[in-house]
Amino acid sequence: MILIEKFYDETERVNVRFVGYMTTDVRYDFGIVFTHLFFGKPLVICMQTGRTVLLDMKDLEDIDYLKKVFRIETIQQASELAEFLKETIPTIPFETQYE
């Protein structure tokens, strides 16, 4: 018998925002799921690649991380993405989800 320990099982009505933009080199289409889970970090889904990551403002300062997680080719493209997401992702105050 396999012992399974459930960490959480939450149901939440969430807001989802779909945004797309285009630079001179690249087009991006994202779904952004705003939730109170995951320490308030929105779930950002790249619709072209299916790559998904939890991001907050601090994460957007790490250009190398964005480049890696979304498999972006250049620092310039990753910097442009960071600037776009900074305008799109709100700052949400942290509230602990664990007791």
What are the sequence ranges of the domains in the chain? 15-88
What percentage of the chain exceeds 70 in pLDDT? Answer: 91
Q: Tell me the per-residue pLDDT of 58-89, one tens digit each, with 9 for 90 and over.
A: 999 999 999 999 999 899 999 999 999 999 88
Could you tell me which of 57, 56, 81, 58 has the C-alpha nearest to residue 68? 81
**What is the separation of C-alpha 55 from the centre of its chain, rounded to a whole number of angstroms?**
4
* CA angle, 99 then 52 then 74, to 5°: 130
User: How many residues does this entry show for the chain?
Assistant: 99
Q: Give the pLDDT of residue 51.
A: 94
